Structure 1
Amino acid sequence: MNQDSGTLRAQPDIAQLLIVSGTRPEIIKLAPVYHALKQSQWARPIWLHTGQHGDMADQMLDCFHIQPDHVLQRQGSSLLEFATGCRLQLESVLMDTACEAVIVQGDTESAFQGALAGFYRKVPVVHVEAGLRTYNLHRPFPEEGLRQMIGRIASLHLAPTLRARQALERENVAPEMIELTGNTVVDAQLWASRQHHIHRRIQGRGHILVTMHRRENWGPDVDHVCEAIADIAREFPRVPVLFPVHLNPVVKEPVHRLLGGLPNIRLTDPLDYLAMQQALADAWLVLTDSGGLQEEAPTFKVPVLVLRDETERPEVLEAGCAALVGADRSRIAQSVRQLMHDEAAYARMQASSNPFGDGTAAQRTEKRLNQMLRPDHAGLAQKAAERTRHVLA
């Protein structure tokens, strides 16, 4: 840990809120919340990074101008070893820091350990991106189990969509414990696009962007997806394919073995956040098993073929901006082929609205946290706003 916890004692009337991150997606989605709280008059966010992801996470923290207050020392290489070490260090931080809430995001081991540490210390747990469900504990694994367990101990559930809210209500979560905010991933994208001038920079159709990393796709499914991409590349030799390859050998070896020799396929190391956003802006189509890219691609009006048999983000299917194709070789190739030849079908997917929000999710989150932790202040602020509206009217 990289800061003396004694310097983090609470100031009167200032709520200290512990934000726990461990992976790149968590940093992306928590960064807007961190900055919204930092700009508020009532809260002081304290950022704790577990180290679940290494150098890739450091790039993300720099990108969003975040200097963590605590960085835990990762112990072991397995999830169990990481969880054990993380849990003990989180307990130490919470003992030494007077926090009024622990904020976690999503469904990672870091999020679960952060929530569990808060629960054991009787500190309210706030779950960003709550309510995503497949109800299949093995797909995705272990994420589905982790987010369901976080949902059982959270005090406030920040649902990104109406479907997520409805899932929580079906699980008998009290309505007053749920807030529909939208997804902070859109906030992060819009900020990055403004700050770093991300926009479409190529003429013509653009590339096919491919990513694959989920555990349930390891093994034969990696081969099947790669064979489908090879079929596409050979059938459409003038269409470039960009494939940032996960560093895990279980994915990297078959990808390079099956796709490395094809001239219109570019295999790269994983892209940092800004490079991935630019790759999305320049894409014609996305093939992915990533939940994050399912959320991000609609911002740039890029259709998505999801390399999974189910998704905890059914909103993309309902909106029409994505379709499930699984890891079936013929199904993937045929779906790409159809979009290549059917301009109307492609245009319908491209024209779909973004189901994940308007870029103000962090503001809604800050407001709801204020209402929960400082109800008197929130009430005064609401009355002041109403008086202002009355005067302006």
Structure 2
Amino acid sequence: MQTPYRVMILFGTRAEALKLAPIIKRMQSDPTTWRPVVVVTSQPRQAQLLQQAIDYLKISVDFDLTQPAEKVGQLVEELSQLLHNLNNVINASQPDMLLVVGDAATTLAASLVGFYHHLLIGHVEAGLRTYDKQSPFPDEMHRRLTDDLVDLYFAPTTRARDNLLAEHHPAQQIYVTGNTAIDMVNRVLDQDFSSPLLRQLPADHRVIVLTMKRPESIGEPMRQVFHTMRDIVETNPDVELVYPVIPNPEVLAMASEVFAKHPRVHLVKPLDYHDFLNLAARSDLIITDSGSIQEEAPALHKPVLLLRDKTERQEAVDVGAVKIVGTDPTSIQQVVFELLNNHRVYKRMAEAANPFGDGEASKRILAIISQYLAKTK
């Protein structure tokens, strides 16, 4: 009888946990075939949000490689420590393969260690590109280097596949699977959702959800956006702004100062994924610097304004679901004004096709992995 395949699954952020959770859940439902080995590599600044996601998802962690606080922010030291710790974990658990996602330091470090160990490596969300190695930093180079190390490429879209082919990665190892983010959206969306926050918002008011947490956003870009959003709320008396504030003292202080207890600005603690997604589904507009929200929002049919100058998810821009506005106040105000006042423009964005798949990506990924492991074991 075939022993279960030991697949080491690695992540270090909430977004990564959410994208790998559908795969982990499918593995757990078939223990005769799969033995997932879950490795968490969180940093102190991300630990709270990540733990919130792990608790919500009910994921059992096999190895917790939380980074020491003194290493945070020192990218070379973080990577060095990750390489050392992951080497020890792989030696101890002897997995059949590694499965990584996205573009974090964990993804690059695990791929490099796995390569040295001659392990099969799969990359969920392979092929995303801006082709600017400084934007987003250091994510763009993490994912490019990862794709030079892995063996199986799970591209979320045909565009991502074409990027990989243009870089001469082997076509027979590239699979267009859709994005597992949509698997999670389908699993979590609750038609009967309600919350104390939603109940306090007037039913006839429009809701804008703001998220802003990328390191390069903190500082003057963030202050600029906060002032712009306050102006938008003040000039539109039927608009409510909801902003889940990341647990960062600088961000908390800035948000409190700029918004100054405005009655229609709601500064809330970070929401768990279920509450955030269902809040977003009941909002009118999302303004964000996030990568994953660009994937989730088209499935919710909510327009997204992206507070960045470039995106690695150009598909969402091409179909009209996402518009890049950067952090320039004039650009943000012009687009928000148009969406709030031009129903035809709003409808065109809201009804844009979702380019990220049908919610069956995790099923496809496991079928492909099973075929490959059956050949090698």
Structure-1 separation of matches of 2:111 and 2:10: 9
Q: Does 1:172 align with 2:168?
A: yes
Report the Cα offset of residue 258 of structure 1.
1.5
The answer (yes or no) to whether the contact 2:205–2:238 under 8 Å persists in 1 is no
Aligned residue in 2 for 1:112: 108
Report the Cα offset of residue 372 of structure 1.
1.2
Aligned residue in 1 for 2:301: 301
The answer (yes or no) to whether the contact 2:108–2:142 under 8 Å persists in 1 is yes
Residues 146-167 of structure 1: CA deviation (Å, up to 9, x unaligned): 1111111011110001111111
Structure-2 separation of matches of 1:341 and 1:82: 47
Residue identity opposite 1:24 in structure 2: R
The answer (yes or no) to whether the contact 2:103–2:140 under 8 Å persists in 1 is yes
Give unmatched runs, 5+ long, in structure 2.
none
Report the Cα offset of residue 246 of structure 1.
2.1
Residue identity opposite 2:33 in structure 1: W
The answer (yes or no) to whether the contact 1:211–1:287 under 8 Å persists in 2 is yes
Aligned residue pairs total 366
Tell me which of 150, 156, 164 is aligned to 2:152.
156
Q: Does 1:21 align with 2:16?
A: no
Larger radius of gyration: 1
Residues 362-393 of structure 1: CA deviation (Å, up to 9, x unaligned): 0000011011111499xxxxxxxxxxxxxxxx
Task: Name the SS for the 2:189 alignment partner.
Answer: helix
Tell me which of 72, 78, 92 is aligned to 1:77.
72
Report the Cα offset of residue 319 of structure 1.
1.4
Report the Cα offset of residue 204 of structure 1.
4.3
Residues 294-326 of structure 1: CA deviation (Å, up to 9, x unaligned): 111122211101111111101111111111111
User: 1:153-232 to 2 correspondence within 5 Å?
Assistant: 153-193=149-189, 198=193, 203-204=203-204, 206-232=206-232
Q: Does 1:97 align with 2:93?
A: yes
Residue identity opposite 1:98 in structure 2: Q
Residue identity opposite 2:129 in structure 1: R
Q: Which moved more, 1:294-303 or 1:78-87?
A: 78-87
Alignment TM-score, normalising by the size of structure 2: 0.92
Report the Cα offset of residue 103 of structure 1.
0.5
The answer (yes or no) to whether the contact 2:178–2:357 under 8 Å persists in 1 is yes
The answer (yes or no) to whether the contact 2:205–2:240 under 8 Å persists in 1 is no
Residue identity opposite 1:65 in structure 2: K
Structure-2 separation of matches of 1:205 and 1:162: 39
Q: Does 1:32 align with 2:18?
A: no
Give unmatched runs, 5+ long, in structure 1.
1-10, 378-393
Aligned residue in 2 for 1:389: none
Q: Does 1:49 align with 2:40?
A: yes
Alignment TM-score, normalising by the size of structure 1: 0.88
Task: Name the SS for the 2:160 alignment partner.
Answer: helix
The answer (yes or no) to whether the contact 1:139–1:216 under 8 Å persists in 2 is no
Tell me which of 120, 126, 141 is aligned to 1:124.
120
Sequence identity of aligned pairs in percent? 33
Cα distance change on mapping 1:265 and 1:147 into 2, 3 Å: same
The answer (yes or no) to whether the contact 1:199–1:281 under 8 Å persists in 2 is no
Aligned residue in 2 for 1:239: 239
Structure-2 separation of matches of 1:71 and 1:217: 29
Structure-2 separation of matches of 1:116 and 1:35: 26
Q: Which moved more, 1:24-33 or 1:12-21?
A: 12-21
Task: Name the SS for the 2:316 alignment partner.
Answer: helix
Report the Cα offset of residue 253 of structure 1.
3.0
The answer (yes or no) to whether the contact 1:141–1:215 under 8 Å persists in 2 is no
The answer (yes or no) to whether the contact 1:193–1:199 under 8 Å persists in 2 is no
Structure-1 separation of matches of 2:146 and 2:376: 28
Aligned residue in 2 for 1:62: 55
Report the Cα offset of residue 205 of structure 1.
5.3
Structure-2 separation of matches of 1:315 and 1:87: 33
Structure-2 separation of matches of 1:247 and 1:289: 16
Residue identity opposite 1:170 in structure 2: A
Cα distance change on mapping 1:204 and 1:177 into 2, 3 Å: farther
Aligned residue in 1 for 2:264: 264
Task: Name the SS for the 2:296 alignment partner.
Answer: helix
Aligned residue in 2 for 1:328: 328
Structure-1 separation of matches of 2:272 and 2:338: 31
Residue identity opposite 2:34 in structure 1: A
Residues 45-72 of structure 1: CA deviation (Å, up to 9, x unaligned): 1111112331221221121221111112
Task: Name the SS for the 2:239 alignment partner.
Answer: coil
Q: How much is the aligned-residue C-alpha RMSD, in angstroms? A: 2.0
Task: Name the SS for the 1:240 alignment partner.
Answer: strand
Residue identity opposite 1:27 in structure 2: A
